[in-house]
Structure 1
Amino acid sequence: MTVASRGAANAHDVQSGRAESRTLAKILAIDHGELLDHVLPAAPEALRAAVREAQPLGILARMQAIGVALHGQLGAEACTALTEHVSDTVRGWGWFALTAAPSAQAPADLIGLVLPAADDPHFGVREWAWMTVRVPLAADLAASIPALAALTDHASERVRRFACETLRPRGVWAKHIPALKADPQLGEAILEPLRADPSRYVQDSVANWINDAAKTRPDWATALGERWTAESVETSTARIIRRGLRSL
């Protein structure tokens, strides 16, 4: 089999839900209506219609809309089963569906709910993890920041990265968080325990958090970098500061 044919076979397997996406491009190229037909051939027409209507939306809005439709049509138990599917996109559907439950949940409960997604082996599912809870957590920073800070000593670098990535002031594909853009000091309870993290995966997230904040509060970012430099001799800290202040 040639490289081209292997790529075509993989694309077909991803589209049919029999394999995980290898790249972001493959995730973005998925036809969710077709994927639903393969994964849930007995899905009700109302669900099929909702997924078709969601397809033209931006990727985050699409996943949110599909999550709401899945929860409304199938219920929590069926959506929980989707979080174990071989397809990373289907697992993402499941997590968006579970966090779309109408009952309000406290930040700590939401974080506990999606923790398996935050530690998923697939990069895409890990991104869905923080995207599913970002909006409700940003709405209650007083409770969310301590709950995320409690994860900064987790054994998994993926979970530690989730703790930092979820409330980045600007984020990626997500709404900005005005309170953290204006007063990034609020997030230091999360950043401080990670300032010498040995994982580059975590280091990059911390640096990106600082870089986000530096665009509106360069004074805070500069002062933080100077303080960390004075207090730490770790090469990991130096790397975070260098990358975090790259826009200044």
Structure 2
Amino acid sequence: MSAVISAARQHELDTGAAACTHLAECLAVDFATLLQAAARLPEAAMQRMRDAASKGITQRMALAAALLREAGQGDASYWQSHSSDTVRGWACYLIGSDTTLALADKLKALRPLADDPHFGVREWAWLAVRADLVAVPMQALQLLLPWVDEASPYLRRFACEALRPRGVWATHITVFKQEPQHALPLLDALANDRERYVQDSVGNWLNDASKIQPAWVRDVCARWQREHSSAADAYIRKRAQRSLR
């Protein structure tokens, strides 16, 4: 059953006065109304967004960023402190779609958004740059490996989630589906992570890999069981093998 959102709450979300508290609210935001409230874009831009209302949310996020840039309001730093998590998500897409930035620069610019207190912004941060990661997965892996040592669990989780072989609402990374062993340095570093938020991502990464390389996932989990005796690793291993019989 879908969540019921009151008219007053919908108005808060659509005008950027409040952040979404769950996924149903994120999906219910009227992008055209929010764009008008936040940026006062021309009517032609508003109509383009209204015409895209039936498209997927990632497509609408990308369109919002494009409309802001076309209107001369494409400075991501201006939007990344907005009260609306959706608007901060547009900042992610402004960074991700900036053709003047190399991948390393995009990841650097995305760090505060990847570490955002709002769950939605953290998702938009990796989704916004997913195409770049898919294009050069081995380079992306090397750039994100240092993130596994960050104090923030949000940043450690970003490093893992951004490179999931299948991902959510995202293009697959073929090399990690077929040859997941390339990501072992990242996965090994997080095998005993103390935060459930990170543990879930590591387990999901391996579950993705198990769809094509089940024996490899079993071998990794067996090794981890020998090397680690923590509840954290046991949880990850269970999650990683949930699709295996």
TM-score range, shorter chain: over 0.9
Give the residue type in structure 2 aligned to 1:102.
T
Q: Residue type matched to 1:111 in 2?
A: L
Please show how residues 181-192 of structure 1 align to structure 2 within 5 Å. Answer: 181-192=177-188
Counterpart Cα distance in 2 of 1:221 and 1:36: 44
Alignment partner, residue 19 of structure 1: 18
Residues 5 and 25 of structure 2 are in contact (CA less than 8 Å); yes or no, is this contact kept in structure 1? no
Task: Describe the shift of the 1:239–1:36 C-alpha distance in structure 2 as closer, same or farther (beyond 3 A).
Answer: same
Does the aligned pair in 2 maintain the 1:36–1:48 contact within 8 Å?
Answer: yes
1:60 matched residue in structure 2: 58
Corresponding residue number in structure 2 for 1:34: 33
Quick one: distance in 2 between partners of 1:207 and 1:49? 42
The one-letter amino acid of 2:189's match is P
The corresponding residue for 1:245 is 241
Gaps in structure 1 of 5+ consecutive residues: none
Provide, for residues 185-240 of structure 1, a one-character-per-residue CA deviation record: whole Å limited to 9, x for no partner.
11112111100000000000000000000011101101100111111112211110
1:100 to 80, 93, 97: 97
Letter of the structure 1 residue corresponding to residue 27 of structure 2? L
Aligned equivalent of 1:83: 80
How many correspondences in the alignment? 242
Deviation at 1:16, TM superposition (A): 1.3
Quote the Cα distance in structure 2 between the aligned partners of 1:107 and 1:94: 16
The answer to whether the Cα contact below 8 Å between 1:33 and 1:52 also exists between their aligned partners in 2 is yes
1:193 aligns with 2:192: no
Cα deviation code 1:39-72 (max 9, x no counterpart): 223x123432332233221011111122122223
**Alpha carbons of structure 1 residues 8 and 19: separation in structure 2 relative to 1, 3 Å:** same
Structure 1 SS opposite 2:208: helix
Q: CA-atom RMSD, angstroms?
A: 1.8
Aligned residue for 1:151, secondary structure, equals helix
**Does the 8 Å contact 1:54/1:66 carry over to 2?**
no
Answer whether contact 1:55 1:62 (CA < 8 A) is retained: yes
Give the secondary-structure state (helix, strand or coil) at the position aligned to 1:68.
helix
TM-score, normalised by the number of residues in structure 1: 0.92
- Matching residue of 2:131: 135
Give the match's secondary structure for 2:144.
helix
- Which residue of structure 2 lines up, in the alignment, with residue 45 of structure 1? 43
The aligned amino acid for 2:91 is G
Q: What SS does the corresponding residue of 1:74 show, helix, strand or coil?
A: coil
Is the contact between residue 114 and residue 121 of structure 2 (CA under 8 Å) also seen in structure 1? yes
In 1, distance between residues paired with 2:184 and 2:148? Answer: 12
The one-letter amino acid paired with 1:216 is I
| CA distance in structure 1 between the partners assigned to 2:94 and 2:45 by the alignment | 13
Q: Which amino acid aligns with 2:30?
A: D
**Mapped contact 1:225–1:241 kept (Cα < 8 A):** yes
Alpha-carbon shift at residue 28 of structure 1 (Å): 0.4
Provide the rounded CA distance (Å) in 1 between the counterparts of 2:97 and 2:155.
Answer: 21
Report if the CA contact (8 A) 2:134-2:171 is conserved: no
Give the structure 2 partner of residue 169 of structure 1: 165
CA pair 72-101 structure 1, distance change in 2 beyond 3 A: farther
Identity of aligned residues (%): 42
Name the TM-score, length of structure 2 as normaliser: 0.93
